[in-house]
Each structure stands twice: as structure tokens, then as C-alpha cells.
Amino acid sequence: MVFLISLGIAILFVVLFDKPLRKHPAPFYAGSAIIALAATAVSWSGAALPAGFAAYLWPVLARGGLAGALFVLVMFAGAFPNGSAPIKKLMPIRGQLSIVASILTLGHNAAYGKIYFVRLFANPASLPFNQLLAAICSVLMLIVMLPLFVTSFSCVRKTMHPKKWKRLQRSAYVFYGLLACHILLLTAPGALRGDTAYQLTVFVYGAAFLSYLFCRTSKALSKQKNAAQLARKQVGAALCCALASAGAAFCMGAVGEPEAPRSLSDPGEAQSLEESNLLQTTEKGDSEGYQDGVYTGSAMGMNAMIQVSVTIENGKIVDVSIDSSRDDEPYFSDALTVIDDILASNSTQVDTVSGATYSSGGILDAVDAALEQAGG
């Protein structure tokens, strides 16, 4: 949903401000910088945000939603058929859009880098595996993006040889690939847990990146000069990519759904199974469960970090407490009910809370980080 909202804002921005952006880009760069600095200040200070702003605008402006949508438009500007209406609209401002997106991306990394980059370089073991890989992707993206960002300014471009500049700009494909990996790494675990919000995110981003991949490849390989024919092929391919992405998201949900408990109609069978489970628990002891102790973990919630303490006794989770969180209060209060599910199932393989998906997902991720230290 965040990406769809961001993409709608990005398209509206292009439609309304393409000419001013092309002729007078400086005010737009300054506005992007103000948004980036504000996002960083809010994230670093932990200031509370109004519920509506935190739910809809914060993910768009600070969590990379709008930046990602603008990069998607920049990507597709080179994939549309030559002479088509979208390419006529986007190509003259492609460089300016990439600069705005890069500034917002720098703000996103500054806002969340205080947590993730510090942990990546100081204590990488404290990050869940998917977040570790996502943080590495972020570092690689910055390395690739910064030269692209600098050379997108017309004053810098004019000083470079055209062939050298074009060769450097081809590294944007690497950036797009890393961006897709970064998003998938952050959303796939939630999709595998069966959370529909994350599954929708996987579907939308997957459709966008797969469609771009096919459209760009088909344009490069096509020998047709008829833009209309190529456009029809690309639309058909985009629909196929959307269906494939939907299938992948659905499969993630199916794989992530916990198996339903087996119905036991025979009381003797039920008693036998109960005795068997008791025997297995006695034989296992603590050696195959979690190691007893108190462990801490942290992860990103709706708009701030959530830190938890997890208490293990006799190899089982007996308590989960919130040590600190500045997450949005209305959603966070609702998300706390996921702790009861964790304790009841002795696992984090439970559903997130409807209406508090990101906050409850943050609690689950933080508990996962703690359980990794407990040998889970």
C-alpha cells in the first residue's frame, strides 16, 4: 500500500511539475533536502508523530517509499518505447528525478543508519539474518548511488566525456537490482508469516521490478521500429509479471501458514500423543530447546526501534517485555497482543496484529533477534 501511495504521488508530481522541475530544479532539490533532514531529525530524536502522519506520510517520506517510487519512474523512462508519451514526459526530467530520489534516499539512510549501520559494523550478530543482508545491500547501494547522484547534475555532466558518463550511468542497473533485493529481504519474512500486508508489498514491488526487467530487455533486443507494437508486447508482459508476482506472494503465504493441528477423535490416540509429547519433552530437556536466561533483541517497528527482553526457562519462552519503544502509541498498544500469541505457541511463527502490522511485526522481529542469542 505504501508503494502504491508513493507511486501515485510520484506520478502526480511528474504531471504537475515536470516543466518547473526541468527549468528550475534547485527549489525541488532544496525541498527534498529539507524532507531528508526532517526525517533524520525525527528518527534520531525519537519524537512522537501524529497517528495519521506516522501511518501514511512517514513511510512515504522517510522509509523510502517516495524515493523508491521515483527510482521506478526513472527506471521505466529508459524502458518505454521510443516516441511514446511516457518517455516524452520522463526523459527530459530523468536526471532531475534521480537527484530528488537520491536526496530522499540519503535521508532514509541517515534516519535508519543510526541503528542499522551502527549495528552492522559494530555488532553484526545482533541483526537478524535478513536485516543483516538488507543492511549490506544498503551500503552497496550507497556506494553505487553516490557517483550516479553527483554526475546527474548538469554542471558535472558537462565536464565529463559523453562515453565515460554513459558508461558510469549503466551502473544504475546494479543499483536497481540491489534495491529489489533490499526490499525483498525486508518484506519476505513477513510474507512467509502469512501477513497479507507484506504479501501485498511483495506482489507490488515484484510486479514492478519484473515488468521493468522484461520491458527493458525487450526494448534492447527488439528489432521492431513500431513503438505501438512494442508497447502492446510490454503491456502483455507486464500483466504476466504481475500474475507471476501474485503467485509468488500467494505461495509465500501458503508456505508461511502454520499447519493446522491434527484432529484426534480417538481419546486413546489423544492420550498416547500427549504421553509421547511429554516423553519427548523430558528427553530433550534444555539441550534441544532455548538456553535458559534473559536475552534482548531489537528491530524496527512502525516508525522507531523496539527493544525487548525475552526470558527463557526450561527451554521455553515464559516472558516477553518491552524495554523501550518510541513507536506510534495507538498502533503499538494494539500490537502488544502479539506477545500473548508468542507465549502461547512458544514461537514467533504467529500472525501479526491486524491494523498494527508493522508494530507487531517489529515485536516479532525483535523477539527473533533475542531468540537467536538463545540458540533458537
Encode the chain (376 residues) as per-residue pLDDT tens digits.
Answer: 677 888 889 999 999 999 999 999 999 999 999 999 988 888 777 666 666 676 677 778 877 889 989 998 888 888 877 777 878 888 899 999 999 999 999 999 998 887 788 878 987 876 778 888 988 999 999 999 999 999 999 899 989 998 999 899 889 999 999 998 998 888 887 777 677 777 787 888 888 888 888 877 777 776 555 555 545 554 554 455 445 544 544 454 444 443 333 333 343 434 443 444 333 333 333 334 688 889 888 777 766 678 889 999 888 898 998 887 766 555 677 788 888 889 888 888 887 776 677 778 788 888 888 888 887 5
293-300 sheet: strands from edge to edge? 293-300, 305-313, 316-325
**285 to each of 289, 314, 325, 364, how far by Cα in Å?**
7, 7, 34, 25
What distance in Å separates the CA atoms of residue 177 and residue 4, rounded to the nearest whole number? 20
In this structure, are residues 303 and 328 in contact, taking their beta carbons and an 8 Å threshold?
Answer: yes
CA dihedral 104, 356, 130, 39 (to 10 degrees): 20
User: Domains plus CATH for the chain?
Assistant: 2-188 (no CATH), 289-373 (3.90.1010.20)
What distance in Å separates the CA atoms of residue 67 and residue 57, rounded to the nearest whole number? 13
Chain position carrying cell 492420550: 271
pTM for this model (two decimals): 0.68
**Confidence at residue 55, expressed as pLDDT on a 0 to 100 scale:** 65
